[in-house]
Amino acid sequence: MEKISNDKIKILAVDDNPKNIQVIGSILRNSGYSVGFASNGQQALDLLSKTQDFDLVLLDINMPIMNGLETCKTMRDDKNMKEIPVIFLTALNDAENIVEGFDAGGQDYVTKPFNSKEVLSRIKTHIDLKRSKDQLKKVNQWLEVKVLERTLELQDANNKLEEANQELEVLDKSKSDFLSIISHQINTPLNGILGFTAILKEEIIDQRLKEMFHYLELSAKRLEKFAKVSLKITELRTKKLTVQKKEISLIKIMESTKSILSEQLNMKNIDITFVNNTDTNVLTGDQELIEFCFESILTNAIKYTPNGGVVRVKIDSNKEKTECSFIDNGEGFHPVTLKNLFQLFIPSQKYSDDNNGLDLALVKLIMDAHNGKIKADNNKELGATVVLTFPNLKLSQHKKSCTK
């Protein structure tokens, strides 16, 4: 804090006794203070209201017209005077007058006859306190201005962020609507292609043409699957797909999945082993969606498992959860792919000509819809493991929660 010389400090001495005024004035002037004088309380108030630059008031208690206690109380009720320190001047040593002075709003007192060192020491203490309070007030005012400026900046930033979020919501809805329309538009001609392909395969005798139609059918089915996956992603993200949860058999899901993937398994001579380490074979969820999860993960595992290999499906369960682990001995996930495995449309991420990226992103959305989790990691030696974790929610409990 900047050091202030005494000649910049102005003190008002109030006393009806000229001799006291002369003594106190001499003490203050000799110490470099600027001094003003008043002979009673009313005169002091008039000076303080006209000249608002006094830093401290030395106020006699016993005076005619208006005594020191009344003067101090009036000062404390005035917004322009209430912060000025008051030191009472009194010839009385009884505790009652001292307490009344503090109750009236005084900061300190000195007794007559004056001891110059005591007077100057008390004045310096209260001047320093006042300067510190004034400095603190200025800092607080500065802080209030800065806080207001920052608040306005944040409000402006929040408004811009809200506008950006609204634009993103519109864009996201447009994207979802576009995917939904595209999926529906693809399905209609695809059904015709697949139908005519199946008929022509039966009619054609030439093996070379049969093989060509077989690959045409595979490509059409792959496109059909892509359309279905895109539509399911859109429905799940826009909350349009209702997840119908019921008790379903894990064994039936595995049998159904192995049947769907039989051609892929036979082509690579791969076996799927199913190990159930639980007392129950039941999950609570949407059967079609869970079957899709199993099929998608196993399709990926079969693709990267070497010919003649084995893919293991292991089920573990306790009171809280059921874990379905899919373990292969293939190449494992590339570190970059593993990092973004369950995210949609990651730039520079390659999925060749299939849609494993979309499939696994949809698996993540399906698990979210089941309040479950999906985790993938490479094994220590060969291959990778994907784990689906389902909460063990009884169907009766689920029904109760849905009716609340």
- What tens digit of pLDDT does each residue of 326-335 get? 999 888 888 8
Task: Report the side by side order of strands in the sheet with 271-276.
Answer: 271-276, 310-317, 321-327, 384-391, 373-378
pLDDT digits (tens, 9 = 90+) for 172-207: 666 666 666 666 667 777 777 777 777 877 777 788
pLDDT-based confidence at 170, cuts 50/70/90?
A: confident
Cα(322)–Cα(278) distance, rounded to whole angstroms? 9
Single out the residue of 60, 66, 36 nearest to residue 48, CA to CA: 36
Could you identify the residue written with the tokens 């400090």?
Answer: 9
The type of residue at 370 is H
- On the question of pLDDT at 395 being above 70, the answer is no
Cα(241)–Cα(194) distance, rounded to whole angstroms? 26
Cα(192)–Cα(101) distance, rounded to whole angstroms? 103
Could you tell me what percent of the chain has a pLDDT over 90?
Answer: 35
Q: Is the CB of residue 37 less than 8 Å from the CB of residue 10?
A: no
pLDDT at 160: 87
Longest dimension (CA), the chain: 136
pLDDT-based confidence at 24, cuts 50/70/90?
A: very high
Q: Are strands 56-60 and 86-90 parallel, antiparallel or unpaired?
A: parallel
pLDDT at 6: 66
Q: How far is CA 28 from CA 58, 76, 114, 170, 346, in A?
A: 11, 25, 12, 76, 80
- On the question of pLDDT at 354 being above 70, the answer is no
pLDDT digits (tens, 9 = 90+) for 301-326: 998 899 999 999 999 988 888 999 99
DSSP character string of 102-137: HHTT--EEEESSP-HHHHHHHHHHHHHHHHHHHHHH
pLDDT at 281: 78
Cα(372)–Cα(96) distance, rounded to whole angstroms? 77
Question: What is the mean pLDDT of the segment spanning 217-233?
Answer: 72
pLDDT digits (tens, 9 = 90+) for 203-224: 777 888 877 877 787 777 777 7
Q: How far is CA 48 from CA 26, 44, 292, 307, in A?
A: 21, 6, 87, 102
User: What would the 3-class secondary structure string for 163-214 be?
Assistant: HHHHHHHHHHHHHHHHHHHHHHHHHHHHHHHHHHHHHHHHHCCCHHHHHHHH
pLDDT at 129: 92
Domains of the chain: 6-114 (3.40.50.2300), 155-237 (1.10.287.130), 246-403 (3.30.565.10)
pLDDT digits (tens, 9 = 90+) for 284-295: 888 888 888 998
Could you identify the residue written with the tokens 């220590």?
Answer: 380
pLDDT at 375: 92
Question: What is the mean pLDDT of the segment spanning 29-51?
Answer: 93
DSSP character string of 280-306: --EEEE-HHHHHHHHHHHHHHHHHHSP
- On the question of pLDDT at 168 being above 60, the answer is yes
Could you tell me what percent of the chain has a pLDDT over 70?
Answer: 84
Helix (H) or strand (E) holding 359: helix 356-369
